Amino acid sequence: MRILVTGGAGFIGSNFLNLLVPKYPEYSFINLDKLTYAANLSNLKDIEDMSNYTFIKCDIADYNQVIDVFEKYAPDIIVHFAAESHVDRSILGPAEFIHTNIVGTFNLLEACRKSWINKNGKIFHHVSTDEVYGSLGETGLFTEETNYDPSSPYSASKASSDHLARAYFRTYGLPIKITNCSNNYGPYQFPEKLIPVMILNALEGKPLPIYGTGENVRDWLYVTDHCEAIWKVIQEGKLGETYNIGGNNEWTNIDIVHKICEVLAGEAGKSPEDFKSLITFVKDRPGHDLRYAIDSSKIQRELNWYPKETFETGLKKTIRWYLDNSNWIENIKTGEYKKWMDLNYTDRVG
Ligand code: NAD
Ligand code: DAU
């Protein structure tokens, strides 16, 4: 079985490959990635020499490149992670989000449609986000039946790609499965997202920027729990179905930043106040969704998936990972990370 993983050099994709490549020596894994600023091949150093792993540099927004990969590797399963993934960047410059997330997904679907004619046992697993559902008020949960109502160019582009995947199932019978997951955290996350931004800034004594009032709520899930859920859906989920994945773990941003300061202080042998005093409230993100919360009862009931990490264990592991991997941090600091962090918030979001 040949499994083509798109975006496998990014945060979730590399965790997925690190989990599965050693576990399934009988399967071949092909990692297709454009290597944008968010990619890091060093995330894959533990598996890069394994005989069932191959890396191929490819831009999914370029149809000819995609078709070449399909002709060469004839994949049986596609696990589609590749995307522009950061909401703030989509506000500053939406074009890349349209190219990669919409046109790129379309190209992959087309390549499958053309190369899988009359072939059984194939799967296109589309990895998506809870942000497609828009914002919740104080109560309620996103279910698989919640209407799409995206707020940012990022979430609109992901919603569009979900619609394309579903349309290819209904129109062409393409073997599609979709998962919509809440906020992930864990090792290898590029420090533009909330948790690693806070960890790295706190360690450097820099301001901890909280957008608006800090009352926005997200539902956090440890990254390997997400990867295991995806694998479970690939193995046991029904074709044409959507599965929501979440941690049942809602936090306001201000509470999570306090929590990070406390765990960091414990791990680094400092006082939580040393870090909490760095908290700085900044201008709000335009179109900032108030609250996300996932109802995961379908995947729990039908596929018996449950997260393994609690927020206590997951956050501690994550902070420990950033403390133990100063080389990884030093290597990314000079490039796009520095450029992004040097922009003040207003310049970042226009
Ligand atoms: P990431 O930004 O860390 O990684 C994205 C990867 O895709 C990078 O390796 C990048 O080089 C690659 N890529 C980007 N454009 C490409 C292109 N045109 N061609 C080929 N490769 C390209 O993202 P992530 O956080 O790992 O997210 C992975 C997927 O999971 C995305 O589809 C995202 O929408 C979804 N998701 C993320 C979260 C989260 O909390 N991070 C939650 C739910 C769903
Ligand atoms: O819900 C799933 C989504 O989670 C994924 O689809 C996206 O790819 C992923 O980026 C993430 O989107 P968010 O916008 O929720 O994540 P982010 O880490 O950017 O922000 C989390 C919350 O923290 C959000 O309410 C904005 C706030 N925030 C973020 C940053 C980076 C701050 O207050 N300060 C910050 O510096």
Strand 28-33's sheet: what is its strand order?
53-57, 28-33, 2-6, 77-80, 123-129, 176-181, 242-245
pLDDT digits (tens, 9 = 90+) for 90-127: 999 999 999 999 999 999 999 999 999 999 999 999 99
Instruction: Determine the 3-state secondary structure of 59 from DSSP.
Output: coil
Q: Give residue 220's Cα distance to chain centre.
A: 12
The reply to whether 130 belongs to the active site is yes
Question: Quick one: tokens of 228?
Answer: 């295991």
pLDDT digits (tens, 9 = 90+) for 220-233: 999 999 999 999 99
Q: Is residue 209 part of a domain?
A: no
Residue 350, pLDDT above cutoff 70 = no
Q: What integer best gives the mean pLDDT of the chain?
A: 97
Tell me what the mean pLDDT of segment 242-259 comes to: 98
C-alpha–C-alpha distance, residues 98 and 160, integer Å: 9
Total number of domains in the chain = 1
CATH number of 177's domain? 3.40.50.720
Residues in the chain: 350
List all residues whose CB is within 6 A of at least one atom of ligand 2: 85-87, 129-131, 182-183, 193-194, 197, 209-211, 216, 218, 253, 285, 292
Residue 99 CA, closest ligand 1 atom number: 18
Helix (H) or strand (E) holding 123: strand 123-129
Choice among 88, 131, 228, 309 that is catalytic: 131
Strand partners, 142: 294
Q: Is residue 293 part of a domain?
A: no
pLDDT digits (tens, 9 = 90+) for 28-65: 999 999 999 999 999 999 999 999 999 999 999 999 99
Residues near 334 by beta carbon (within 8 Å), at least 6 away in sequence: none
Question: Quick one: tokens of 28?
Answer: 């071949």
Distances (CA, A) of 290 to 144, 213, 219, 220: 19, 11, 12, 15
Q: Is residue 210 part of a domain?
A: no
Q: Rounded to 5 degrees, what are φ and ψ at 25?
A: -65, -20
Q: How many CB atoms lie within 10 A of CB 271?
A: 11
Instruction: Determine the 3-state secondary structure of 124 from DSSP.
Output: strand
CB–CB of 71/117 below 8 Å?
Answer: no
Residue 91: DSSP 8-state: H
Predicted pLDDT at 197: 97
CB–CB of 186/251 below 8 Å?
Answer: no
C-alpha–C-alpha distance, residues 23 and 17, integer Å: 10
pLDDT digits (tens, 9 = 90+) for 278-293: 999 999 999 999 999 9
Predicted pLDDT at 298: 98
Pocket test for ligand 1, best of 15, 36, 40, 101 (most atoms within 8 A of CB): 36
Question: Which DSSP string do the residues of 157-193 spell out, in sequence order?
Answer: HHHHHHHHHHHHHHHH---EEEEEE-EEESTT--TTS
Question: Quick one: tokens of 134?
Answer: 């828009």
Choice among 130, 162, 192, 228 that is catalytic: 130
Pick the closest to residue 22 from 56, 40, 45 (CA basis): 45
The reply to whether 131 belongs to the active site is yes
Ligand with the closest atom to the CA of 218 = 2
Q: Is residue 22 part of a domain?
A: yes
Predicted pLDDT at 335: 87
CB–CB of 92/104 below 8 Å?
Answer: no
Residue 349, pLDDT above cutoff 90 = no
Q: Is residue 67 part of a domain?
A: yes
Q: Is residue 265 part of a domain?
A: no
Residue 48: which domain range? 2-186+219-250
Q: Is residue 16 part of a domain?
A: yes
Residue 255, pLDDT above cutoff 70 = yes
Tell me what the mean pLDDT of segment 313-333 comes to: 95
